[in-house]
Structure 1
Amino acid sequence: MALVFVMHSCTTYTIPTESFKTQFSKFDSIQKRERVINNPLTYGTIKYMTNNIMMINVIDKNNNPLTIRNSASLEMRVTKKNGKKNIFYFDTVTLENDILKGSQSRFLPTIRKEIPFDDIIKIEIQEGGKNYNYQN
């Protein structure tokens, strides 16, 4: 059973950049929601603002379209034209005026990274397998 979970949690999906832009354009980036997640290091909680996206359309490794649920441990890896990669927590990502914004840390969620969307050539997401769960 654990092997099945590990294999599932390592599955990487892609989101074509135009599909990502289309999906995010359906949501008003101003309408964010405060969420609370568990803090596995201190057994406390962490509060931060999330995007409104509940489900995201992705492509699996066999080029099949799928829809997956957003979660507190879903991670997004962005590859830029210069080959550099940035990792964000998917639920913190917004697209505002063609600028991708998101948090790379659960412990410092107010520190956000910004990337011009035109600099992005690849977007991948996967369940990070971290023990983060929504409390509200």
Structure 2
Amino acid sequence: MKFAGIGALILMLSCKSYTIPTESFREQMRKTKTSTMKDVKVNNPLTFGDISYAANNINRILVEDKNGNETYLNNSGSIEMRVTHKNGKKYIMYFDTVILENDTLKGGRSRFIQSLQRQIPMDSIAKIEVQDGGKKFNYQN
């Protein structure tokens, strides 16, 4: 049990995290709406078959590394987004499910249970981080 915890910690630390300033995020998400979502399929790493869901239309994300340098991160089924509220609470969603509607961030928390959605008012957000979680969710053609 101890080794599993250490392994998980090493995996989390090895994933490169980026931040997205709130205003940059708002600008990048400006064209994402429920009506512009596209149907995608990702492989299911736990079983055979695919998982279908609606994804946003963003191909790449403008992010900042830990030194404040801007770079692009390609959007994929394994990009995770961590939102920190001003009160310190943190929530995780899959970036490709995230849209911005009426100044509210909406996104999926699970690939397996599509109904697990989160809605977060933009004015309550202190920090937005993204990283490739290393999960084997790859888009299927």
Q: Normalized against structure 2, the TM-score is what? A: 0.88
Deviation at 1:65, TM superposition (A): 0.4
The residue aligned with 2:27 is 22
Match of 1:96 among 90, 94, 101: 101
Q: Identity across aligned pairs (percent)?
A: 56
Where in structure 2 are the equivalents of 1:97-136 lying within 5 Å? 97-136=102-141
* One-letter amino acid of the counterpart of residue 89, structure 2: K
- 1:59-74 maps to which residues of 2 (within 5 A)? 59-74=64-79
Deviation at 1:68, TM superposition (A): 1.1
- Structure 2: how far apart are the matches of 1:7 and 1:39? 21
Cα distance, 1:8 vs. partner? 9.8
SS at match of 1:21: helix
TM-score under structure 1 length normalisation: 0.91
From 29, 33, 39, the equivalent of 2:38 is 33
Give the Å deviation of 1:26: 3.4
**Equivalents in 1 of 2:79, 2:26: separation in Å?**
18
Tell me, which stretches of 5 or more residues in structure 2 are unaligned? 1-10
Look up the SS of the partner of 1:63 in the other structure.
Answer: coil
Contact residue 33 and residue 100 of structure 2 kept, 8 A: no
Pick the aligned partner of 1:85 from 87, 90, 101: 90
* Matched-pair contact (CA < 8 Å) for 2:59–2:75: yes
Letter in 2 for 1:47: S
Q: Corresponding residue for 2:7?
A: none
Alignment RMSD, CA only?
Answer: 1.6
**Runs of 4+ deviating beyond 3 Å:** 6-9, 26-29
Structure 1 pair 95/62, CA: closer, same or farther in 2 (3 Å)? same
Deviation at 1:9, TM superposition (A): 5.9
